[in-house]
């Protein structure tokens, strides 16, 4: 194994890392940051699940409980899920996948990391000085007038982090448009790139609306400008419209990259081209587009007009179609494929199962009459965790394992990785499936006490959460171990397609010795052979 200079060994001073404009190093910086946030958000979740073991509020006060779930939501949504796949795996892989030297705007890329850190520190400071109790949704007029917590600080943190999202999205859009290697046409792009492109469009078009909305909330609270204050003629519902105009598409920011990763994994470990490539590609764009017109399904009980409810319900059913296309096409890809159950594939299969449950339960919620019944119950909590955690986090782990040899130059221990993948799947289902039942039984979300008859389901959920906690912590250990003791990886340990596998692992700072040229469709496994030499 050659000890050639690569992006990790080039210059290892702290200064060179903090001032780097190399997309691969920026990806590592993001990776470290979001891992920290993941465990902070996870700690809040752990406390929530501990509290809910018993019907009485015995661990924390109601007020603390409110701050815990708010912190959990804010950290997990804006400081883990939104940047997770795009800013780490995307940052690392996009230029490699299109055969480019770097992203279009390398300095902007580093800037976006600093903005992310600034936003994160502001939010952490808000938590440190007492936290915020509005939930991650910052609903007015509670957030603007009544809440006795650090709304302005928390909102400022999210506002700043939003610009980091926008800059990342901008960078990806321009990079994918302009820096593709010769011969790499749009229909030769790996599906990961189609997904990230769709994600970036949402990042660029939805995030600014959140920015202006949160700015108005902060100004309303700090200076009483009254835009969302009913006592001054303002309309609190307008806040919900603006907030969900961002936050529903944000759900697609959180799932589309996961779908992109899963497309890569399914193709690689089935040794087949993705069935209906163009449909899967365009379904990502369709999700991004239609996703902008479904926000009202968060407001079915808000008092919006029956007509609006009807339209939003219809659109919400429509947006499920492209997601279903993806699921069917992944399954069809596996049909008669040469499937191997490596850890990334286990994550991908877990994703398909969990995402399908999340998606189908979403159809329940898109249904006007049923939604009235389960609004603001644990049914909703279970639904979006199936999408965001069962879907996105699982895909993130799958992608992390898949590209780990490329990123670090080391192979992860397969046995432990499979164990973690299976444990995550079971722990996750045990945590969140009981919450569907709780929701149907009528348990509202965001309460820290509950009638004793619900206890069995809560205990089950908390037990599952402890399994999940162990499963999420496992990779930290074995991946950490592999950094030092893992087997060295070849350039293409999975014998798969894609330009990122044509350069050494880890890649040199300049990515490719000779600029690659693309002559084939993606996922062309005919030259790779069916059988894959194990860890060749």
Nearest to 287 by CA among 263, 318, 242, 241: 318
Q: Does 178 bind other proteins (CB under 8 A)?
A: yes
Alpha carbons 237 and 459: distance in angstroms, whole number = 36
Please state the closest distance from residue 285 (CB atom) to other proteins, in A.
16
Binding to other proteins by residue 44, rule CB under 8 A? no
303 by Cβ neighbours in 10 Å (0-12 / 13-18 / 19+) ranks as exposed
Report yes or no: 174 and 108 within 8 Å, Cβ to Cβ. Answer: no
293 is a contact residue toward other proteins (CB under 8 A): no
Evaluate whether 428 touches 500 at the Cβ level (below 8 Å). no
Instruction: Compute CA 180 distance to the chain's CA centroid, rounded to the nearest angstrom.
Output: 25
Query: Taking CB under 8 A as the rule, does residue 66 contact other proteins?
Result: no
Distances (CA, A) of 258 to 182, 255, 270, 350, 425: 27, 5, 18, 12, 16
Give the residue with the Cβ less far from other proteins, 92 or 397. 92
For residues 352, 353, 354 and 356, what is the CA-based torsion angle, rounded to 10 degrees? 80
Instruction: Please report how close the Cβ of residue 164 comes to other proteins at its closest, in angstroms.
Output: 13
**Contact positions with other proteins (CB under 8 A) in 235-254:** 235, 238, 242, 245
Q: Which of 1, 5, 187, 232 binds other proteins (CB under 8 A)?
A: 232
Which of helix, strand or coil describes residue 339? coil
Residues 212-231, interacting with other proteins (CB under 8 A): 212-213, 215-216, 219, 222-227
Residue the block writes with tokens 């319900």: 313
**Cα(194)–Cα(256) distance, rounded to whole angstroms?**
9
Contact between 173 and other proteins by CB under 8 A: the answer reads: yes
220 vs 264, which CB is nearer to other proteins?
220
Binding mask 379-418 for other proteins (x = CB under 8 A): ----------------------------------------
Find, among 210, 135, 60, the residue nearest to 380 by Cα.
Answer: 135
Q: Is 452 a residue that touches other proteins (CB under 8 A)?
A: no
> Distance (Å, rounded) from C-alpha 341 to C-alpha 347?
10
Q: Copy the structure tokens of residue 153.
A: 């600080």
Region of 77-85, 172-180, 362-370, 525-533 interacting with other proteins (CB under 8 A) = 172-180
CB of 176 to other proteins, least distance (A): 11
141 prior amide bond cis, ω within 30 = yes
In degrees and rounded to multiples of 5, residue 488 shows phi and psi of -65, 140
Number of residues located near other proteins, criterion CB under 8 A: 42
Q: Least separation, in Å, of the C-beta of 500 and other proteins?
A: 16
What residues between 185 and 214 interact with other proteins by CB under 8 A? 204-209, 211-213
Of the pair 211, 392, the CB lying nearest other proteins is at: 211
Q: Which is nearer to other proteins, 45 or 98 (CB)?
A: 98
CB of 367 to other proteins, least distance (A): 28
Structure tokens at 466: 């402890």
When asked if residue 104 is in the footprint of other proteins (CB under 8 A), the reply is yes
Site stretch for other proteins (CB under 8 A), options 68-76, 101-109, 297-305, 465-473: 101-109
d(CA 211, CA 97): 31
Instruction: With beta carbons less than 8 A apart as the criterion, state whether 357 and 327 touch.
Output: no
The piece of 64-72, 234-242, 315-323, 404-412 that touches other proteins (CB under 8 A) is: 234-242
Among 75, 94, 166, 290, binds other proteins (CB under 8 A): 166
Cis peptide before 174 (omega within 30 of 0): no
Looking at beta carbons only, is 214 or 443 nearer to other proteins?
214
Choice from 53, 59, 179, 273 touching other proteins (CB under 8 A): 179
Could you say which of 27, 100, 259, 389 contacts other proteins (CB under 8 A)?
100
Q: Measured between alpha carbons, how far is 468 from 426 in angstroms, rounded to an integer?
A: 8
What Å distances lie between residue 303 and 86, 139, 237, 293, 298, CA to CA? 36, 15, 9, 18, 11
The string of DSSP letters for 46-57 reads HHHHHHTTSSS-
- Answer whether 234's CB lies under 8 Å from 227's CB: yes
Within the chain, what is the greatest distance between any pair of CA atoms? 71
Stretch that binds other proteins, among 77-85, 121-129, 174-182, 486-494 (CB under 8 A): 174-182
Q: How far apart are CA 318 and CA 1, in angstroms?
A: 52
| 233 Rama sector, left if φ>0, alpha if ψ -120 to 50, beta otherwise | left
Three-state secondary structure call for residue 444? strand
How far is Cα 460 from Cα 458, in angstroms, rounded to an integer? 5
Among residues 54, 59, 101, 444, which is the contact residue for other proteins, using CB under 8 A?
101
Tell me how far, at minimum, the Cβ of 102 lies from other proteins, in Å: 4
Q: Which is nearer to other proteins, 204 or 423 (CB)?
A: 204
Residue choice 102, 133, 342, 371 for contact with other proteins (CB under 8 A): 102
Tell me, residue by residue from 418 to 447, as one string, x for binding to other proteins by CB under 8 A and - for no binding.
------------------------------
**Residue number with CB closer to other proteins (212 or 301):** 212
C-beta of 200: minimal distance to other proteins in Å? Answer: 9
Q: Which of 45, 81, 170, 395 binds other proteins (CB under 8 A)?
A: 170
Task: State which residue, 20 or 490, has the beta carbon closest to other proteins.
Answer: 20
Rule CB under 8 A: is residue 177 a binding residue for other proteins?
Answer: yes
Q: Minimum CB separation from other proteins for residue 28, in Å?
A: 18
259: nearest Cα among 199, 318, 207: 199
5 in contact with other proteins (CB under 8 A)? no
Return the residues of window 70-99 that contact other proteins according to CB under 8 A.
Answer: 95
Residues of this chain that bind other proteins (CB under 8 A): 95, 100-106, 166, 170, 173-174, 177-179, 204-209, 211-213, 215-216, 219, 222-227, 232-235, 238, 242, 245, 510, 515
């Amino acid at each position: 194994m050659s000890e050639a200079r690569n992006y990790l060994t080039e210059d290892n001073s702290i200064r060179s890392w903090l001032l780097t404009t190399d997309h691969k190093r920026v990806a590592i910086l993001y990776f470290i940051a979001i891992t920290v946030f993941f465990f902070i958000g996870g700690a809040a979740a752990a406390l929530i699940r501990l509290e809910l073991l018993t019907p009485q509020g015995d661990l924390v006060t109601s007020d603390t409980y409110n701050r815990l779930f708010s912190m959990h939501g804010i950290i997990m949504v804006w400081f883990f899920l939104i940047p997770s796949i795009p800013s780490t795996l995307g940052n690392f892989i996009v230029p490699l996948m299109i055969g480019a030297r770097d992203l279009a705007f390398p300095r902007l890329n580093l800037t976006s990391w600093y903005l992310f850190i600034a936003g994160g520190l502001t939010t952490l400071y808000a938590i440190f000085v007492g936290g915020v109790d509005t939930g991650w949704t910052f609903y007015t007029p509670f957030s603007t007038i009544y809440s006795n917590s650090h709304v302005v600080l928390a909102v400022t943190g999210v506002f700043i982090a939003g610009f980091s999202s926008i800059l990342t999205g901008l960078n990806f859009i321009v990079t994918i448009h302009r820096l593709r290697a010769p011969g790499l046409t749009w229909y030769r792009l790996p599906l990961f790139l189609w997904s990230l492109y769709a994600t970036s469009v949402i990042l660029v078009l939805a995030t600014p609306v959140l920015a202006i909305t949160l700015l108005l909330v902060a100004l309303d609270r700090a200076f009483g400008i009254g835009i969302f204050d009913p006592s001054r003629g303002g309309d609190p519902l307008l806040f919900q419209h603006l907030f969900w105009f961002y936050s529903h598409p944000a759900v697609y920011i959180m799932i589309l990259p996961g779908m992109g990763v899963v497309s890569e994994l399914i193709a690689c470990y089935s040794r087949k081209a993705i069935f209906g490539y163009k449909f899967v590609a365009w379904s990502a764009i369709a999700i991004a587009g239609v996703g902008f017109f479904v926000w009202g399904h968060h407001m079915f009980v808000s008092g919006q007009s029956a007509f609006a409810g009807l339209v939003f319900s219809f659109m919400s059913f429509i947006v499920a179609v492209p997601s279903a296309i993806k699921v069917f096409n992944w399954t069809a890809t596996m049909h008669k494929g040469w499937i191997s159950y490596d850890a990334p594939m286990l994550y991908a299969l877990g994703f398909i199962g969990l995402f399908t449950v999340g998606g189908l339960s979403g159809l329940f919620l898109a249904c006007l009459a049923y939604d009235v019944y389960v609004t603001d119950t644990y049914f909703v909590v279970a639904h979006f965790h199936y999408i965001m955690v069962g879907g996105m986090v699982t895909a993130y782990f799958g992608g992390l394992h898949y590209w780990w040899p490329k990123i670090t130059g080391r192979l992860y221990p397969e046995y432990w990785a499979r164990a973690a993948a299976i444990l995550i799947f079971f722990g996750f289902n045990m945590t969140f499936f009981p919450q569907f039942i709780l929701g149907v039984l009528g348990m509202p979300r965001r309460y820290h006490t509950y009638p004793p008859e619900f206890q069995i389901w809560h205990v089950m959920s908390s037990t599952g959460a402890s399994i999940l906690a162990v499963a999420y912590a496992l990779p930290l250990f074995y991946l950490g171990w592999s950094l030092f003791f893992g087997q060295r990886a070849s350039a293409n340990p999975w014998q798969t397609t894609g330009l990122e596998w044509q350069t050494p692992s880890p890649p040199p700072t300049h990515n490719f010795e000779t600029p690659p040229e693309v002559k084939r469709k993606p996922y062309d496994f005919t030259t790779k052979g069916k059988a894959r030499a194990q860890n060749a």
